[in-house]
Amino acid sequence: MDTPQQMKDTLQRCIDTHKDELHSLSRDIWSRPELAGNETHAHDRLVRFFSQDKTWTVETHYKIPTAFRASWGPVGGGAGGEQVVNVGFLCEYDALPGIGHACGHNLIAEVGAAAAVGLKAALERQTGLPRPVKITVLGTPAEEDIGGKIDLINAGAFADVDLVFMAHPAQQDASFLPCVTLDEVMVKYHGKESHASVYPWEGVNALDAAVLAYNNLSALRQQLKPDWRLHGIIKHGGVKPNIIPAYTELDFYLRTPLVKDLNDLKAKAEACFRAAAVATGCRVEMIYPYHAYYNILPNATLATLYENNGKALGIQFPEQLANFVGSTDFGNVSFIVPGIHPFFYIGTDALNHTEEYTKAAGAEKAQLFTLRTAKALAMTAVDVVCSPDLLKQVRDDFSLANLK
C-alpha cells in the first residue's frame, strides 16, 4: 500500500493529466448558463464526463430531475467485514438570471469532478486501507433558488454518505466562512378595488398595507441584532393610479447567523406583516415558497487538514477573513453529514453576483486556482480515509457542532 503522501502525489498527477478535459467541462457549463431546476445541459454534460470511465456507476436524474449520482468502489479494505467509508463530492451548476455564472458554479462542478477523479486514482490500486472506501459524486442543482440539496436530503440521497466535500469561488482562500441562514417569505395583501377619486371610501387599499409593512420592517431593524438581516422589495403595487389597488405583493429575505435564531426573526417579521393588514382592513397571506437554508456547521479537523494540504500546494490563507454573510443549502447538509465547504480565490478582485465575476469564472486564469483547490480537497480526503483516528475526530467535531 502506498503512503498517504504517495497517494497525494498520484492524485495531483491525475488531475494535471485531465486538466484540459476538466476545463472543457467547466467552460461548457459556463457557456450555457441555466437557472435553478432547469440545468439539463449541465446535468447531461457531467453525466457524460463520468460515464466515459466505465468504472463509475452513473445514475441520471437522481431523485430530482436535474441531479445525478456517480459512484465508484468500495475498494482497499483490510481483512474483510469493515464498514465502508463513503466520501462524497458535491457539484453545483445553476446560474443567475441575466448574468449567468456570476457565482462560479461551473467551477464548483469542476472542483467536485476533479477531486473525485483524483481521489479515485489515488485509491484504485490500494489494499490494506483501514476501511474500504467508496466515492460518491452528487450533482446538486438549484442552489441559487429552491434548495436542491435539501430536496436530496429529504429524498435520502445522503443517507449512506460519511463525509462531504465541496468548494465555492470567492475573493480569497478560506477553509471556513460563516454562511448564515436564509428563509424567503412572499407576502400578499388582498383588498378591494374602487375608483380612487370618485368612490375611495368603497376601496380597501392593498398598497397602503404593503407600504405600512415595508415601513414596519424598517422600524423593526432598529431593534434587531447587528448580524441579523431583513431585506426585500415590493413586487406588485397596483395597476393604475386611479384604481385603489386590490392586490399587492412583497418578497423578503430573512437571515440570522444561526438557525436557532431564525424562528425569532420570522415571528417579528410576521407581526409586522399582520399589523399592516389589521391597520388597512386587508387580508394577508404569508407564503414560504422554498426551503430554509441553514448556517454551515464548522468542522475543525477537516478545516485544519484542508489548510495544511492547501499550504503544501501554495494556497495562502489570510489571517483576516472577509465578512461573508451569504447563504447556501450546503448548510443543511452540514447538519446531517460531517463536511467542509472552503472558499477559493480565482484570480480576480471582482465580487460574486456581478458581470465581472461571470467573466472571471469562465477565464483560463481561474483554472490554476480551481484545480489547486480540487487537489487540496482530495488530499484532505486521503488523510481521513487513511487514519481511523482522524475519521473519529471528524465525527466528534460534527457531533460537538450539532450540540451548540
Q: What's the mean pLDDT in 267-275?
A: 98
pLDDT the model gives residue 315: 98
CB-based contact 175:308 (threshold 8 Å): no
CA distance 399 to 404: 9
CA distance 251 to 208: 16
- Indicate the average pLDDT of the chain: 96
pLDDT the model gives residue 192: 98
Q: Which of 340, 335, 338 is nearest to 259 (CA)?
A: 335
CB-based contact 169:107 (threshold 8 Å): yes
pLDDT the model gives residue 86: 98
pLDDT the model gives residue 75: 75
Domain covering 4-179+294-403, topology: Aminopeptidase (3.40.630)
The pLDDT of residue 209 is above 60 = yes
DSSP labels, 155-216: TTTTTT--EEE--EEESS-BS------BEEEEEEEE-B--BTTT-GGG-B-HHHHHHHHHHH
* Nearest-10 Cα torsion for 183, 186, 189, 195: 140
For a pLDDT cut of 70, what percent of the chain falls above it? 98
Q: What's the mean pLDDT in 146-166?
A: 97
CA distance 85 to 83: 7
Q: Which of 219, 206, 346 is nearest to 271 (CA)?
A: 219
Give the count of beta carbons closer than 10 Å to the beta carbon of residue 300.
15
Neighbouring residues of 280: CB distance < 8 A, sequence distance ≥ 6? 189, 191, 204, 205, 206, 208, 209, 212
Q: What's the mean pLDDT in 157-171?
A: 97
Is the C-alpha dihedral spanning 35, 39, 40, 41 positive or negative? positive
Instruction: Please give the C-alpha separations between residue 162 and each of 159, 176, 301, 334, 341, in angstroms, as whole numbers.
Output: 8, 19, 15, 11, 15
How would residue 77 be classed by pLDDT, with cut points 50, 70 and 90? Answer: low
Q: Which residue did the predictor score with more confidence, 302 or 404?
A: 302
CB-based contact 188:248 (threshold 8 Å): yes
Domain spanning 183-287, CATH architecture:
2-Layer Sandwich (3.30)
How would residue 143 be classed by pLDDT, with cut points 50, 70 and 90? Answer: very high
The pLDDT of residue 133 is above 70 = yes
Query: Which phi and psi angles does 315 have, rounded to 5°?
Result: -75, 135
- Radius of gyration for the alpha carbons in the chain, expressed in angstroms and rounded: 24
Query: Which phi and psi angles does 102 have, rounded to 5°?
Result: -80, -5
pLDDT the model gives residue 324: 67
Let me know if the fold of 4-179+294-403 is the same as that of 183-287: no
Q: What's the mean pLDDT in 132-148?
A: 96
Which residues is 283 bridged to in the sheet?
190
The pLDDT of residue 137 is above 90 = yes
How would residue 79 be classed by pLDDT, with cut points 50, 70 and 90? Answer: low
The pLDDT of residue 152 is above 60 = yes
pLDDT digits (tens, 9 = 90+) for 291-350: 999 999 999 999 999 999 999 999 999 987 766 668 999 999 999 999 999 999 999 999
Q: Which of 162, 1, 7, 133 is nearest to 75 (CA)?
A: 133
The end-to-end CA distance of the chain, in Å, is: 40
CA distance 154 to 65: 15
Instruction: Please give the C-alpha separations between residue 249 and each of 75, 213, 252, 278, 285, in angstroms, as whole numbers.
Output: 55, 11, 10, 16, 9
Q: Which of 202, 192, 180, 256 is nearest to 225 (CA)?
A: 256
How would residue 78 be classed by pLDDT, with cut points 50, 70 and 90? Answer: low
Q: Where are the domains of the chain?
A: 4-179+294-403, 183-287
3-state secondary structure of 233: strand
How would residue 81 be classed by pLDDT, with cut points 50, 70 and 90? Answer: low
CA distance 222 to 202: 36
pLDDT digits (tens, 9 = 90+) for 358-376: 999 999 999 999 999 999 9
CA distance 369 to 347: 7
Instruction: Report DSSP state, residue 221.
Output: G
3-state secondary structure of 387: coil
Cis ω for the linkage preceding 169 (within 30 of 0): no
pTM: 0.93
DSSP labels, 129-145: -SS-EEEEEEE---TTT
pLDDT the model gives residue 320: 74
3-state secondary structure of 307: helix
CA distance 292 to 286: 15
- Cell numbers for 347: 484570480
